[in-house]
Structure 1
Amino acid sequence: MNEQIEMIKRFEGLLSAPFTAFFQNGKVNVDIIPKYVDLLCTNNVRGAFVNGTTGEGPSLTMEERKLTAEKWIIAGKGKLDLIVTQVGGCNINDAKELARHAEQHGATAIASLPPLYYKPTENRDLISYLAAIASAAPNTPFLYYHIPSYTGINVKLDQFLCEAKLRIPTLCGAKYTSTDLRDLFLCQQLEGKPFKLFLGADEIMLAALPLGVTAAIGATYNFMAPLSHKVIQAYKTCDFSEARQEQGRILKVVEVILKQGPLISMIKAVMNNIGPLDFGNPRPPLQPASEQEVTAMMKELRALKLENLVQE
C-alpha cells in the first residue's frame, strides 16, 4: 500500500477526465475506450480519472460504471500510469460496491465525491461517509474529490484532509477542482507534504505551478493537452512570457466554450468535431448542444486554431 501511495505522490503530468461515449440509443459505448487510451498516449496524457464529472458518472447506473471502469483498467494496462476510478455520487452501499469492484480489477486509486443530496454539515460527518467507502477497498489509495461548485460542499481542505487521514489510512490526496488558490497553498504547505493535490481547474494551471502543483486532472486535456504541456515546460524553464501566452490561449478556448452552453455538453461537441472519435450526446438531464451553438462555437475555435491541438 505504501508503495502505491508513494507512486501517486511522485506522479507528475496530466490525467484526462474522460468522457463517457453513448450510442444513439443511449447505451454506453465502451468499445471506444482502447482507441481513447491511444489518443491520450499520443498527446502525452498519462492517466485517466474515470466516471467523474466529465464522464457523467453520477448519471450512469452502477453496472455501467463497473463496465466502464473495467474497460479503462484493461485498456490502460501498460499504457497509462494511473487509472483512478471515481465511485461517489450515489448511495453509500453502491459507492462501497464500486470501491470493492475497483480494487478487485486493479484500479490504481479510487476517489469519491461527497454525498450529493443529504449534505454533511460537519467534517466528522463527511469523514465518516468517506471512511466507509474507503474501507471497502482497504488496499487501494483513496482521493477526495473536492469540487464545491458542483457539490455545494466547500470544506477547508488542509484541515479536512488532516482530520480525515486519522480515520482513512488509505487517504493520500485530492482532486482539487477549485480556483481558491489560498486553500490550495495551505494544503501544499502542510509539513512533510502528506497529500498529493491533483489540480482540477485547468484554467489556473500557471497560477498553481508556483504553489508546488505537479499533476492535474481535467477535461481540456482530452483535446488541448499540448497547450498545457507548453505551460508546464515554459514554467520549468522560467520562460514566463511563453507560459502566460499559452495559459491565455487555454483561457480563450474555455471562454468560447462556456459562452455557448453547459460545459460538459459543449466540450463533448468539441471532441466530436475536432477529434477522431465520436462520443455521442450527453445523457439527460444534460442536453446536447444545438446545431446553432456548435456552429458558432466551432467558428470561434477554428479562429484560435484549436483543431491543430489534438494529435491523432
Structure 2
Amino acid sequence: MSSSISTVAFIGLGVMGYPMAGHLARQGLSVRVYNRTAAKAEAWVAEHGGSHHPTPRAAAEGADLVLVCVGNDDDVRHVTTGEDGTLSGMAPGSLLVDHTTASADLAEELDAACRKQGIGFIDAPVSGGQQGAENGTLTVMCGGTEDDFERTRPTLAHYGRAVTLMGAAGSGQLTKMVNQICIAGLVQGLAEGLHFAERAGLDQQRVVDVISQGAAGSWQMDNRHKTMIGDEYEHGFAVNWMRKDLGICLEQARRLQARLPVTALVDQFYGDLQVMGGGRWDTSSLLRRLRAFDQS
C-alpha cells in the first residue's frame, strides 16, 4: 500500500513540521508545502526541494496524502475546512492526517467532513518534541479506521519510531491527553526533587546519576536534568504550548467526570511561569518557579 503514496502535502512548518516534512523529502517523496509565513516555506524548499504553495488548497491539490501540523483547533479548521483549506483541493481516495495536538471533538468533526468527500482521515498527534522530530523518533498516536491507518503508517514511520492505532477517530487525541497528563506530574516531581536536593546541599548531578538507575528514572530525568540544574530553559516544549494542551485535557476530563487534581495544579504552576514571562520557556522550567519563590 505504501507505493500508492508518492506525493504528499505538508501544512505547517514550525519546529515540529519543518523537520518532519524534511524526513519525507529525504525518503524520495514529492513534497508540497504550505506555511502561514511564506519565507519559512521558501527556506524549506531551498533546503529539501519540493515546492511551496500560497494556500493549503494549492498545496493539497494532487497530493495522495495531506499532513497538518499547526497550533490549535482553530488553526486546523482554518487550513482544512476553511476558505482555501486542504479539503477543497483534495481528491476522493486521498488521505488527511492531522498531527496537531487538538481536541477529540475536532478529530471527529474532521473525520465526518472527510467521509462526506470520500477522503480518509487519521488524527495522529505526536510526542517526542523537537528532538524527536529532528531525529525521526517520534511516538505517533493514531485514531481512525484500520484501512486508513495501514495506508498512512509506512509514511508516518519515516519520522515515527512508534506508530500505533489506538481506536476510532479521536482516539489518537485522547491518548495524547493521557501523555500530557503523565508528563505534567513527572516534570513537577522532577522539579521538586531537584529543588529538595539543592536545598539539602546535595550534589544534584550525583543524585540524578544514582536515582535515574532505579524506579525514579524517566525520559524527563534523562533529557532535562542537566538544563534544569543549569537553569537553562530557552529550548524544548514551550510552557504556552503545554498550557494549551493541559486546557484540552482538563476540558475533556470535566466532560468524562475524570478527576485530575495534580494536572489542574500543575496547570496553575505553568500559569505562574507565564506571569513570570516564561511562556516560551521549556516545560521543565517548573524548577525556576520553585527557585523564584525561595528568593521572594
| TM-score in same-fold range (> 0.5) | no
Instruction: Specify which structure has the bigger relative contact order, considering alpha-carbon pairs within 8 angstroms and separated by 6 or more residues.
Output: 1
TM-score for the superposition, normalised by structure 2: 0.38
TM-score, scaled to structure 1: 0.36
Judging by fraction of residues, say which structure has more helix: 2
